[in-house]
Amino acid sequence: MTSPTTSSARTLVPGLNWAGNHRYAAARLHRPRSVEQLRELVAGSRRLRALGTRHCFNDVADSPGDLVTLRDLPAGVDVDGDRAVVRVGAGTSYGVLAQRLHEAGWALRTMASLPHISVAGAVATATHGSGDRTQNLAADVRALELVGADGGLRRVERGEEEFAGSVVAVGALGVVTALELDVVPTYEVRQDVYSGLSFAAFTENFDAVTSAAYSVSVYTTWVGEDTAQVWLKTRLADSAAAPAELFGARPASEPLHPLPEVDVRNATEQLGVPGPWHERLPHFRFSFQPSNGEELQAEYFVERTRALAAIEALRGLGPSIAPLLHMCEVRTVAADDLWLSSTFERDAVAFHFTFKQRQPEVIAALVRIEEALLPLGARPHWGKLFAAGADALAGLYPRFADARALVARRDPDGTFANAFTDRIGLTG
């Protein structure tokens, strides 16, 4: 599987993504051991893309040339308490970053469901946690360092002209080597799970449900009169006790997993037991297999003011998509100012679908879902499955033309372009 190359790095066969639904087309996967080796590699490549932890479900990270992984570069987690910022190596996972931050007395404001994903990969695709007042992970970026097409290393900082177009850029501007993120003092979180919330109660009390805790997730298969589960993640500084009931939903008497067929030990601790932020905000433990494994994921972000219309549309589609679903998660995300972010300039409700691994049928279902949600302005998650192409997507992002122009200016020869960036209209 591995073969030594020159003294600079190892080269691997790229293989499959985590879900097993995409085999990378690139011929080689390089593993440089230093930024200097990475710069040499990029400068000598006609086509190249960075590959993170393989948790994307499409070809966003693939390349018609070569791939490069940063997993052999030093992790580098350096906290500057005076500035409330951490500098972290791009290939570092959120699980590792969180552990080191917590040990130093600091924290992130939010975490994604999976702590296993890399910082650079999550940022590049605008991956998120949840909360009415919580922005996505990319919004915490204060600066990023990246290797451009000529092999040069440059730094882009918050406040600079190109910053808002460079953070969420789906890898089209270069290979990010390090990021600086805002941090806050460490805190504790309590997690409580409820069941029996009816759709009627959910929609009639939508704002109250989503604001019932620091982070709220509602799970459903879109059939029946009740949702499946409601997960409340509460900062201890915000509240001392869990509500006895949540608009008719009752607290679970034992720990639950969002996917009923998966071992509950994989899920983070519940039943109101307090714990560090990084052991409660994710849904899945860093030390266990994340989620289901044999699954496909898609996600759409609808402006919050149109959330009830989206819920009504998905309930109408419920009987046709439920046989393909493991579960769908509904959560909220606050607006940001990053050009290609799914929450650019608008608070959003995210509808995250975990499908069974039946890709042709899932793609057909996504076409129907997009027919219902795209007229509501839904934006897809860049790292997950979606059917929409350039014509449908460009109008959903007010600064899309500016992002395309930035990519053309920084990478005129298309070193970092691929089929994905062509398909969404960012290159090509």
pLDDT at 404: 98
Mean pLDDT along residues 111-121: 91
Which pLDDT band holds residue 75 (cuts at 50, 70, 90)? confident
pLDDT of residue 1: 31
Least confident of 6-10, 125-129, 362-366, 410-414: 6-10
77-186, which class in CATH? alpha beta
Task: Check pLDDT > 60 for residue 7.
Answer: no
Q: Distance between CA 29 and CA 2 in Å, rounded?
A: 10
Tens of pLDDT, residue by residue over 122-153, are 999 999 999 999 999 999 999 999 999 999 99
Residue 88, helix vs strand vs coil: strand
Using CB atoms within 10 Å of the CB of residue 12, give its burial: 0 to 12 exposed, 13 to 18 middle, 19+ buried. Answer: middle
3-state DSSP assignment of residue 361:
helix
| C-beta of residue 327 within 8 angstroms of C-beta of residue 291 | no
* Mean pLDDT of all residues belonging to the chain: 93
Two tokens at 70? Answer: 């940063």
Three-state DSSP class for residue 138: helix
The per-residue pLDDT for range 184-240, each reduced to its tens digit, is 999 999 999 999 999 999 999 999 999 999 999 999 999 999 999 999 999 998 776
pLDDT of 5 higher than 50: no
Q: Which residues have a Cβ under 8 Å from the Cβ of 30 and sit 6 or more positions away?
A: 5, 9, 10, 11, 12, 41, 66, 67, 68, 69
Assign 264 a pLDDT band (cuts: 50, 70, 90): confident
Q: Is the pLDDT at 6 greater than 60, yes or no?
A: no
CA distance 41 to 8: 9
Asked if the 188-386 domain carries CATH number 3.30.70.2520, the reply is: yes
In which element (H, E) is residue 209 found?
Answer: helix 206-210
Instruction: For the beta carbon of residue 210, count every other beta carbon within 10 angstroms.
Output: 22
- Model confidence at 22, pLDDT cuts 50, 70, 90, reads very high
The CATH number fitting domain 2-69, selected from 3.40.50.620, 3.90.660.20, 3.30.43.10, 3.40.630.30: 3.30.43.10
Please give the structure tokens belonging to residue 55: 């948790």
Q: Which pair of structure tokens corresponds to residue 397?
A: 């992002």
pLDDT of residue 284: 83
Rounded mean pLDDT, 75-95 = 94
Q: Which residue has the tokens 């997690």?
A: 191
Q: What is the per-residue pLDDT for 241?
A: 79
pLDDT computed for residue 205 by the predictor: 98
pLDDT tens for each residue of 51-72: 999 999 999 999 999 999 998 9
- Compute the distance between CA of residue 278 and CA of residue 76 in angstroms, rounded to an integer: 19
Helices (H), 104-216: 119-124, 163-166, 199-204, 206-210
pLDDT band at residue 287 under the 50/70/90 scheme: confident
155-175 tens-digit pLDDT: 999 999 999 999 999 999 999
Six token digits for residue 61: 């990270």
Question: What percentage of the chain has pLDDT greater than the value 90?
Answer: 84
- Tokens 């691994």 — which residue? 357
pLDDT over 70 at 412, yes or no: yes
Please write the tens of the pLDDT for every residue from 290-324.
554 679 999 999 999 999 999 999 999 999 999 99
DSSP code of 268? P
Question: What's the confidence (pLDDT) of residue 240?
Answer: 66
Q: Which pLDDT score, from 0 to 100, does residue 290 have?
A: 58
The two three-digit tokens of residue 347, written as one number: 């608070």
Measure the CA–CA gap between 45 and 346, rounded to whole angstroms. 38
The whole-number average pLDDT for the span 246-254 is: 95
Q: Which two tokens stand for residue 268?
A: 């983070």
Q: Are 337 and 425 in contact (CB under 8 A)?
A: no
Domain ranges of the chain: 2-69, 77-186, 188-386
- pLDDT, residue 100, reads 96
